[in-house]
A and B are shown apart, each in its own frame.
Chain A
Amino acid sequence: MEVSKSDALEIRVSDDVVLVRQAVRKWAIELGFSLVDQTKIITAASELARNTIDYGEGGTVRLESLIDGFRKGLRLIFLDNGPGIADIELALTDGYTSGKGLGLGLSGARRLMSDFRIESRVGDGTRVEITRWK
């Protein structure tokens, strides 16, 4: 698997969520994703970008265009140095929230993407990696 293009964006304030959505849309279009797939990727990115601010005290997202043989993909890696998640299974439960949201961000993003990986250490931060293959 080869990363054909990559970039990183800061996620600090709520306006950055809009910028992340716009960047992800541009990349998804470039890779030739269908409209439905574009919408799924943008929505997942929006959820995770907001989580980065609301729960991770801000962070970054790394965008990567992937080529794996004949297939293409878009990978997004959200990183923060926030308080981390003590119970990942619980955080991935539909409807569970430690804040004031609907509790669909993480679980919803997982359903919308092909691959979903999350690592978190309490006191260290959280890393969420999502990929959608074409």
Chain B
Amino acid sequence: MERIPILRMGDFLIISIQVDMHDRMAMTLQDDLTNKIIQTGAHGVLIDISTLDMVDSFIGRMINIIASMSRILDAETVVVGMQPAVAITLVELGLTLSGVRTALDVEKGMELLRAATRSRRAEAEEREDGSVEE
């Protein structure tokens, strides 16, 4: 079966959805991605949807699920490159990508992920320092 490749770049995983996904493919992607996060210990997932010409409730739900699963596995998700027509349609459809960060392009998305992991690391260090003092 056709699969969507998951690329690793340092601490992050990158997915670019460039085909008209059928439903099974979307389900496989969810599974593949969670496995990959665990395998690599990645702290960020970037999903590029710049070539998708529509996002319906099924794909929207998939993105939401990926984001929640990633969060549980200690990884942030950012969706980048949504086309304006897709964004307009998504809002009218009534779909909210709750808890999913978005950025205009891959570069800005990577910046967002880097900032998110930095601030998280700082928080973790603070917590560790605090526990030492106690």
Contact = CB atoms under 8 A, between A and B. Distances in A.
A35 B88 CA distance: 11
A21 B54 contact: yes
B86 interface: yes
Contacts of A111: 92-94
Interface of A: 14-15, 17-18, 21-22, 25, 35-36, 38-40, 42-43, 46-47, 50, 94, 101-102, 104-105, 107-108, 111-112
Given A35-B85, A39-B53, A102-B60, A15 B22 contact: yes
B22 A18 contact: yes
Contacts of B55: 43
Q: How large is the interface on B (under 10, 10 to 19, 20 to 34, 35 or more residues)?
A: 20 to 34
Contacts of B89: 36, 39-40, 43, 112
Contacts of A39: 53-54, 83, 85-86, 88-89
